[in-house]
Amino acid sequence: MRWPRRAAPTARVDATPVPAGSDRGGSVPAGPKRAGFVPAGLVHAGFLVTAVAATVAYALADPSARRTVYALVTAVPIITFLAALRRGHLPDRWPWRVAVVGLILLALSNLLWPNWITDHHLGRAEGSPADLMVGTAHTVLLVGAGWALRRHVANDSAGVMDAAMIGLCCGGPLWEWVVRPRLVPNVSLLGQAMLLIDLLVLSGVVGSLVRVGRTARKARGTVTYMVLCALVTLAAIATAVLTVHGTALWTAEFMILGYLTLAAAPLHPGAPYCTLPQDPSPAGSHAANGHAVDDRPCLGWLGLALCVNPLIAAVQVLGERGGRGLMLPLGTLLIIPLVLLRFRRLSAQRAAAERTLAYHASHDELTGLYNRRYIVAEIDRALAEIDRGERDGVAILLCDLDGFKPINDRLGHQAGDSVLQVVASRLTGCVRDGDVVGRLGGDEFLILCRDEPEQAVARLRERIPPALEAPVRLPGAIVTVGVTMGWAVARPGGTTERDALIGVADATMYAGKARRRRNAAGSCAGRVILESAP
């Protein structure tokens, strides 16, 4: 019997779980050198104290001192990012370095145009060099954040895209009802476009980060700070437009909070896990076990989000034009449900195809039992559970049919296939819930028992022979087959290497076959009795 071998056999099964999307070749960055060089509680406390101190100091300062306070605040995230990089807290360094470049650009823009906030340039959408530099800095920061979270996005691309679309659609009402009506009359087309893009991108980023935060459990603290940074930046943009003819205090205060929330992100213990792959989830384990994962989009929420902008357009047409031009938004609203129904049908077809493929990838086509690939993977998982101390033992039991070849030779392969199907059904009836039954190929079967292995083997040795040796009625004949079994048990501290365990079971089974051949005259097992059907 040939079994697939591992690329690098070892004395024991490697019990270290490999996260989805990674490999052993080193393509995934190593973990942090320190498990959080600043505790999470200290990060939160430091953020609160610094935020209160900075906002109060800015509010109480005179105009010249305010510029100094604001400049110092813009330097804080640069310092925290560089400190986290220097201490080895961030294993995948390049995304964070890109973010530092964006922060440096923001600090430089503040030094070159110190009155950009106080003179309401943020809310005027002028398309000036300062606006261009700030927009470039935001783009660089977005690239760094996307790079850092790319592995989480890859593991949940559909969910992240759905969340980004919902976020983008939520940005439409903010622009149309809050920002655009209050823009100054002399706003430039370039400035208006830049402000709209900034607002929509931030809205999409918020949606994406919320989704990543739901799936990336260990990175959730850092992702939360990123979400807060995007939200307060959106608030700063809206406030700048609303107060363009008044005080810029609240705009600056929101910008200060944005800088400080971003400064806390790399210090949080969850920061290293932003760039590491997502932990294996129950859904992922089901996929590995041959069960399809339901990743269909939430079409209801998507439909609602897609309807927002056409509804806004319809309201505007009714209010400004008395209903003229209403057909375009109404036509769009009518098309969206049809498109969603089509998506739903395609999604259902894809899910059905994935379930079918997953079943065939893990099951034997003839008997419906698990196939060799699945059985080998299950043995490896069970042995890894022993190494991790999660299980006190497992057993495997090999079953090889005796007298099966004459059935194929005399009655044909169709009769042999029918016998194998009956044997598979009888084996399934002999095992307990939780035991795994599979067909290795030909007339060889394997049973994996995870709980109480010795008792399970004893029970199966007692139940399987009489069950399989019972006559099988075929068209035109009644046949019987025998079975020879071999078994092996793995316990903590003993052999937990798959090949060695199967080798023991193989040896036991072939020793039993030798005994059967010596005692063939006195044993009915292994004999094939062909009778004419009455």
The residue from 361, 382, 405 where one domain ends is 361
Q: Which amino acid is at 517?
A: R
Q: Is residue 99 part of a domain?
A: yes
Confidence class for position 28, pLDDT limits 50, 70, 90: very low
CATH number at residue 506: 3.30.70.270
Amino acid of residue 500:
A
pLDDT of residue 207: 86
> Is it the case that residue 23 has pLDDT exceeding 70?
no
263-289 pLDDT, tens digit per residue, is 999 999 999 888 776 544 433 444 334
Q: Quick one: CA dihedral 76, 81, 84, 85, positive or negative? A: negative
* Same domain, residue pair 52 and 176: yes
**Domain assignment of residue 68, yes or no:** yes
- Provide the domain count of the chain: 3
Most confident of 121-130, 161-170, 230-239, 403-412: 230-239
The answer to whether 207 touches 166, Cβ cutoff 8 Å, is yes
Same-domain status, 201 and 333: no
Q: Which of 11-20, 200-209, 264-273 shows the lowest mean pLDDT across its residues?
A: 11-20
Supply the pTM of this predicted model: 0.61
Average pLDDT over residues 95-114: 89
On whether residue 366 sits in a domain, the answer given is no
Per the domain annotation, does 385 fall within a domain? yes
Q: How confident is the model at residue 53 (pLDDT cuts 50, 70, 90)?
A: very high
Identify which has the larger pLDDT, 46 or 524: 46
List, in order, residues 6 or more apart from 269 with CB less than 8 Å away: 35, 36, 38, 39, 40, 43, 221
Tokens 């004893």, residue located: 458
Give the contacts of 427 (CB within 8 A, at least 6 positions apart). Answer: 369, 399, 437, 445, 447, 464, 467, 468
Which one of 335, 361, 387 terminates a domain?
A: 361
81 and 183 co-located in one domain = yes
Same domain, 150 and 269: yes
- Does 382 share its domain with 320? no
Shared-domain flag, residues 446 and 502: yes
112 CB-near residues (< 8 Å, 6+ apart): 130, 133
Q: Both 417 and 504 in a single domain?
A: yes
The residues that bridge with 478 in the sheet, in sequence order, are 473, 531
Q: Given 361, 394, 416, which residue is the final one in a domain?
A: 361
Residue 480 counted as domain residue: yes
In a domain, 33, yes or no: no
Top pLDDT among 427 and 389 is at: 427
CA distance 86 to 267: 12
Separation in Å, CA 316 to CA 309, 310, 320, 329: 11, 10, 6, 10
Q: Locate 365 and state its tokens.
A: 């086509």
In a domain, 291, yes or no: no
pLDDT, residue 232, reads 94
Tell me the pLDDT of the chain averaged across its residues. 80
Kindly state whether residues 517 and 406 are assigned to the same domain. yes
Tell me which of 76-80, 84-88, 129-133, 245-249 is least confident.
Answer: 129-133
Top-confidence residue, 256 or 129: 256
pLDDT at 83: 94
**Residue 90 CB coordination number (10 Å):** 24
CB 218 within 8 Å of CB 279? yes
pLDDT tens, position by position, 361-378: 999 999 999 999 999 999
Q: Alpha-carbon distance 99 to 85, whole Å?
A: 12
| Statement to judge: residues 386 and 511 lie in one domain | yes
Check whether residue 424 and residue 444 sit in a common domain. Answer: yes
| 341 and 383 together in one domain | no
Residue-level length of the chain: 534
Partners of residue 281 on adjacent β-strands: none
- Could you read off the pLDDT of 331-369 as tens digits, one per residue? 777 888 888 888 888 888 988 999 999 999 999 999 999
Which position has the token pair 């009956």? 422
Let me know: does 473 contact 418? Beta carbons within 8 Å: no
Higher pLDDT: 534 or 331? It is 331
- Write the pLDDT tens digit of every residue in 139-183: 888 888 778 777 777 777 777 887 888 888 888 788 888 888 888
Enumerate the active-site residues.
443
Mean pLDDT, residues 459-476 taken together = 90
What's the pLDDT band for 290 if we cut at 50, 70, 90? very low
Same domain, 383 and 439: yes
Rounded Cα distance between 37 and 87, Å, is 8
The pLDDT value recorded for residue 496 is 67
Decide if 129 is inside a domain: yes
Which pLDDT score, from 0 to 100, does residue 323 have? Answer: 59
Domain residues for the domain of 53 are 40-279
Mean pLDDT of 417-428: 93
Tokens of 507: 């040896």
